[in-house]
Amino acid sequence: MKKILTLFAIFLLISSINKAQDTIIKINGDTVLAKILEINSTEIKYKKFNFQDGPTYVENKSEIKQITYSNGLKEVFSVKEQKISVPETIANNDYYNPNAGPVNPQSKIEPYGSRYKYQGRKIGEREMQRILMSTKDKQIIGLVQSAKDANKMQYIGFAAIPLGIGSLVALANSFNTYSSGSYNGTNNSGLVSISVILAAAAIACPVISIVSKSKRKKCNREAVKLYNEKY
């Protein structure tokens, strides 16, 4: 009976997730599972459904054939709509517009200390990545996305502090149990094992952080190099 109820709960959860997503069908036949944020007279703004903490995407309505909303309502767009020219400069760095060309394909991106130089001015990593993403080059976009993923993994190093504290607490409890005369072999062994596991995790976190930082720099460097060679 419990298994049936569990399966039923999982089925309801999957059903609710499927119903919560919007489906975008493009003119070229591509399908995107999304969360629609805004539709205005010329553009559609959305998040990818499986990555709603990621960037906001912007599509011209002229590129969209149909949207099926989470409530089942369908909206069909005219395929005869005239293409809208997209400004080269995107005000919000979090927006990635797949229809926009490179901001200035004649300008090279040069490393400048911890930042970059572009068109005679210093820019940060985010703006550099926005310029690279605007090329719509799959290889460059892949490298930039890998750099962004590695950047997120860098923060795992902060987990070493609570893990290290937890390891010391478990080890201290093990010693206290032994010295107080209430020693229990099984419990004491369990505390020691927990302490060792937490200590290993505390050591691994900074290592992962360092490796991720190195990967982030490498991917950014390769993406910039490829951009400078192609544009």
Q: Which amino acid is at 154?
A: Q
Residue with the bigger pLDDT between 187 and 129: it is 129
% of the chain exceeding 70 in pLDDT: 71
What is the band of 177 on the pLDDT scale with cuts at 50, 70, 90? low
Q: What is the reported pLDDT for 7?
A: 44
Instruction: State how far the Cα of 60 lies from the Cα of 62, in Å rounded to an integer.
Output: 5
Mapped to the 3 state alphabet, what secondary structure does 66-121 carry?
A: EEECCCCCEEECCCCCCCCCCCCCCCCCCEECCCCCCCCCCCCEEEECCEEEECCE
8 A C-beta contact, residue 114 and residue 213 = no
This prediction has a pTM of 0.45
Q: How many CB atoms are located within 10 Å of the residue 206 CB?
A: 14
**Taking the domains of the chain in order of start, what are their residue ranges?**
20-87, 155-220
User: Average per-residue pLDDT in the chain?
Assistant: 76
Give the tens place of pLDDT for each residue, 85-113. 444 444 444 444 554 444 444 578 988 88
Q: Domain 20-87 has what CATH class?
A: mainly beta
pLDDT for residue 45 is more than 90? yes
What is the band of 213 on the pLDDT scale with cuts at 50, 70, 90? confident
Name every residue whose Cβ is closer than 8 Å to that of residue 202 and which is 6 or more positions away in sequence.
159, 160, 161, 163, 164, 167
Instruction: State how far the Cα of 182 lies from the Cα of 100, in Å rounded to an integer.
Output: 70
Q: What is the reported pLDDT for 196?
A: 80
